[in-house]
Amino acid sequence: MSEVATMTIEGEVGVLTIDSPPVNALGIATRRGLDRGFRDFAGNPAIRAIVLICGGRTFFAGADITEFGKPMQEPGLQDVFDIIEDGVKPVVAAIHGTALGGGLELALICHYRVAVPSARLGLPEVHLGLLPGAGGTQRLPRIVGVDAALDLITSGRQLSATQARELGVVDELAGEGRLREDAIAFARRLLAEDRPLLRVRDRQDMIEPARGKPEIFADFRRRNARSFRGFKAPENIIKTIEAAVALPFEEGMKREAELFADLYESTESLAQRHVFFAERQTSKIADVPADTPTLPVRSVGVIGAGTMGGGIAMNFVSAGIPVTLVEMDQAALDRGLSVIRKNYENTAKKGRMTQAQVEACMGLITPALSLDSLAEMDLIVEAVFESMAVKQDIFAKLGRVARPDAILASNTSFLDLDAIAEATTLPERVIGLHFFSPANVMRLLEVVRGARTSKQVVATAMKLARQIGKIAVLSRVCNGFIANRLMAPRMAQSEALVLEGPTPAEIDRVIYDYGFAMGPFQMIDLVGLDVIGRDANVRTLRGDLVARDRLGQKKNGGFYDYDEARKPTPSPVAATIIADFAKSEGVAAGGPQSDADILTRLLYPIVNEGARILEEGIALRAGDIDMAAILGYGWPVYTGGPMFWADTVGLPTIVARLKEMQAAHGDAFAPAHLLETMAAEGKRFSE
Ligand code: 3HC
Ligand code: NAI
């Protein structure tokens, strides 16, 4: 009948099974299968009820995102939905895996829903810069009420089957592993009890209480203004739910369609869709295919229990992998352990962990004071001071102590991984695992592939990243790897620009308005001026501030002054230090003043650096650079990351402005060869 649909008849119940790997997305083949199946069952007088179930790992994961931007082939999603909803035989959706987006909307069209306890349900369209465009914004509030619908659709949060049952989204829980039988039994009961066809569209009871209460929506907008900043989809979603409350169903559906179309064409949604695929691309490495054998990682050694080592250890123990944590002395070890405990206890205080889980995690850490304790580890991650001599010394010792098949990793930020690897007898075992601070929170992990790192070690690191909940981006060796190297020009240009007139507060505001959580000066004040890029031999602006004990927030003053509550205000002292330094460097005021010019000066060099990272083969693809910037530096998702953003600006524009800045400020702005070529050939990074 159809490539993806199978129809079987169990007495009076017809079972339509759709199996369209990997995730039963609602692409054309699936829609044809549904259309055919429902028509056949409708026309078969022997069938009195229908169960809709999926094969493979999940219920429908939503519209087929790969079809976006292409002409829609018939039948459309709405055509299929109409057949189901207008039918006269009860349809039961049988849900396992994840019912997401259009998949959940399809389930809401069905008259009843049964799910296994492990199933999860949600409308994640907001993450793609969209809204549920197949009736989800009109039907979900009719089941769960306005407050819950606002929360669920603007957050894209998934419900467990039990939560969905409590909210009425699911009518009955099936036994785990017994979905088909239980759904058929449920359908038989519907027939035996002569239960009516329940159409969600007809319900009013849950939206009625919100009628004539615009304050519900006003409050919601106000409470979430910060997290919705810059995103286009949340506001359109709120408007659709307002429509669900105020308008008759059909008109609400029209409003949903208009607001969906508005998002569909938006740059924000194109960017977020790019990010969805870029995130999934990062794990694909041409010469390390998915079936490359990996090594088991059942035990991990972490060397250094400082800022990074502690967070790194937490990643593994949180995933159930025991860690031996090595420090230089007992005091450092105790300090490190107490920070880890405090972090876990804070999580427990927020209710996201039980006290027993805290103890279980702490119980997985074995403290140690000698590298000899690492003799049996599968993986050893070094996170000691950023010094080549110290790291080489440690790796030379590890070469002797560790098992010959152990993976030896360094968390170095800037040092030459190949030089570290050469200190061991087994450089093919050495890899960079570059975590971002705080290491237990940040989702980016740069996996640094040295000149001699084996494919098996690379494949193991990529797999391990997934296991500990990180997105791994593969980088070759260079100063700063991808994210830090990429973003370095922003700090450098900020410090150059501040000498030319714009104040730190003005520059920070421009960067904040672009969508970052904070500007470069707020960031450096937070981290500490003495921490990043110390350079003792040359006079620098930062050096001048440090010399006046303006180290940042920790000293109540850096580029800004801070009050007791850490609230920043522009600093007259810093302004004088900046002016003195500008004078000594011979820099005259008169730099860019407009927001657009400031942004150009700060962000175009990042695109340029990204192009260099790409042409040198440091990153595998432009999308990886976007992911590194988004996950490592909080680059706003709705711009798609620096390389996607560059495409939206237009590469010829970026090249032209870089050349202007090169003429004015020197060769640091010289466009990368790749960037110039792509601009000349009309190419895009996101192609
Ligand atoms: N359309 C097309 N392809 C999809 C897809 C979708 N909706 N969802 C996942 N895929 C693809 C992935 O790109 C990936 O392809 P690859 O193997 O070639 O890289 C493959 O399916 C497997 O996906 P994951 O690696 O993400 O597998 P997981 O098991 O980790 O996760 C999942 C499965 C939870 C279903 C996850 O893929 C997911 O969250 N998918 C997106 C769900 C979503 O956003 N749905 C809403 C779509 S928009 C919509 O429905 C509009 C409607 O309202 C009109
Ligand atoms: P840190 O100074 O907080 O911690 C380093 C720890 O290593 C100290 O506790 C020290 O006692 C210990 N140590 C030093 N030599 C040792 C040895 N021989 N044996 C055992 N322990 C030893 O430093 P931090 O910030 O954690 O940095 C560690 C590494 O991580 C550096 O290479 C750094 O570049 C890198 N990194 C740092 C990031 C950050 O934001 N702090 C981000 C990403 C990487």
**Per-residue pLDDT band at 550 (split at 50, 70, 90):** very high
Best residue among 370, 384, 394, 413 to mutate for probing ligand 2's pocket (most ligand atoms within 8 Å of CB) is 384
List the CATH number of the domain containing 419: 3.40.50.720
Tell me whether residue 514 is in a domain: yes
Same structural domain for residues 523 and 388? Answer: no
Contact 53, 16 (CB under 8 A): yes
Same structural domain for residues 129 and 199? Answer: yes
**Per-residue pLDDT band at 538 (split at 50, 70, 90):** confident
The pLDDT value given to residue 2: 67
Please state, for a pLDDT cut of 70, what percent of the chain lies above it: 99
Rounded Cα distance between 631 and 436, Å, is 9
Mean pLDDT, the chain, rounded, equals: 96
Tell me whether residue 629 is in a domain: no
* C-alpha 305 – ligand 2 centre gap (Å): 7
The angle subtended at Cα 593 by Cα 592 and Cα 596, nearest 5°, is 85
Same structural domain for residues 166 and 39? Answer: yes
Ligand with smallest separation from the Cα of 410:
2
Tell me whether residue 683 is in a domain: no
List the CATH number of the domain containing 520: 1.10.1040.10
Q: ω into residue 21 within 30 of 0, thus cis?
A: no
Rounded Cα distance between 517 and 528, Å, is 17
In this predicted structure, the answer to whether residue 592 has a pLDDT above a threshold of 90 is no
The whole-angstrom distance between residue 314's C-alpha and the CA centroid of its chain comes to 20
Rounded Cα distance between 252 and 258, Å, is 10
Give the pocket of ligand 1 (CB within 6 Å): 22-23, 25, 58, 61-66, 98, 100-102, 105, 124-125, 128, 130, 132-134, 136, 280
For ligand 2, whether the C-beta of 390 sits within 6 Å is yes
Rounded Cα distance between 578 and 583, Å, is 9
Q: What is the pTM of this model?
A: 0.94
Q: Which residue from 305, 313, 322 is spatially nearest to 369, judged by alpha carbons?
A: 305
DSSP secondary structure code for residue 23 in this structure: T
The pLDDT value given to residue 677: 98
Same structural domain for residues 537 and 470? Answer: no
Ligand with smallest separation from the Cα of 390:
2
Q: Match 């308005």 to its residue by tokens.
A: 513
Rounded Cα distance between 544 and 538, Å, is 11
* C-alpha 64 – ligand 1 centre gap (Å): 8
In this predicted structure, the answer to whether residue 1 has a pLDDT above a threshold of 70 is no
Tens-place pLDDT, residues 609-626? 999 999 999 999 999 999
Rounded Cα distance between 266 and 256, Å, is 16
In this predicted structure, the answer to whether residue 647 has a pLDDT above a threshold of 90 is yes
Same structural domain for residues 402 and 511? Answer: no
The angle subtended at Cα 475 by Cα 473 and Cα 478, nearest 5°, is 150
**526, 556, 585 - which closes a domain:** 585
Same structural domain for residues 473 and 547? Answer: no
Q: Please name the residue ranges forming H helices in 168-302.
A: 179-192, 214-228, 233-246, 249-264, 267-281
Same structural domain for residues 369 and 420? Answer: yes
The pLDDT value given to residue 537: 77
Rounded Cα distance between 72 and 75, Å, is 8
Q: Which residue from 514, 505, 670, 507 is spatially nearest to 592, judged by alpha carbons?
A: 507
Q: Match 């968390």 to its residue by tokens.
A: 411
For ligand 2, whether the C-beta of 614 sits within 6 Å is no
Same structural domain for residues 323 and 243? Answer: no
Pairing of strands 407-410, 379-382: parallel
Tell me whether residue 611 is in a domain: no
Token digits for 7? 């129809």
Q: Match 């730190």 to its residue by tokens.
A: 504
In this predicted structure, the answer to whether residue 553 has a pLDDT above a threshold of 60 is yes
565 CB-side CA count, 13 A: 2
**Per-residue pLDDT band at 534 (split at 50, 70, 90):** low
**536, 570, 585 - which closes a domain:** 585
Helix (H, G, I), strand (E, B) or coil at 174: coil
In this predicted structure, the answer to whether residue 210 has a pLDDT above a threshold of 60 is yes
Number of domains in the chain: 3
Tell me whether residue 684 is in a domain: no
Q: Please name the residue ranges forming H helices in 93-232.
A: 102-109, 136-144, 146-155, 161-167, 179-192, 214-228
Tell me whether residue 626 is in a domain: no
Ligand with smallest separation from the Cα of 120:
1
List the CATH number of the domain containing 192: 3.90.226.10
**Per-residue pLDDT band at 116 (split at 50, 70, 90):** very high
In this predicted structure, the answer to whether residue 678 has a pLDDT above a threshold of 80 is yes
Q: What is the DSSP string of 43-81?
A: H-TT--EEEEEE-TT-S--SS-GGGTTSPPPSSPHHHHH
Tens-place pLDDT, residues 53-71? 999 999 999 999 999 989 9
Same structural domain for residues 426 and 521? Answer: no
Same structural domain for residues 183 and 231? Answer: yes
For ligand 2, whether the C-beta of 326 sits within 6 Å is yes
Tell me whether residue 465 is in a domain: yes
List, by residue number, the catalytic residues.
105, 125
Tell me whether residue 530 is in a domain: yes
Same structural domain for residues 142 and 232? Answer: yes
Token digits for 445? 């992990």
**206, 238, 264 - which closes a domain:** 264
The pLDDT value given to residue 530: 85
For the residues 430-455, what does the mean pLDDT come to? 97
Same structural domain for residues 242 and 380? Answer: no
Rounded Cα distance between 110 and 134, Å, is 13
Tens-place pLDDT, residues 292-326? 999 999 999 999 999 999 999 999 999 999 999 99
Nearest CA to ligand 1 atom 31: 23
Burial of residue 289 (CB within 10 Å: 0-12, 13-18, 19+) is exposed
Range of the domain at 317: 300-479
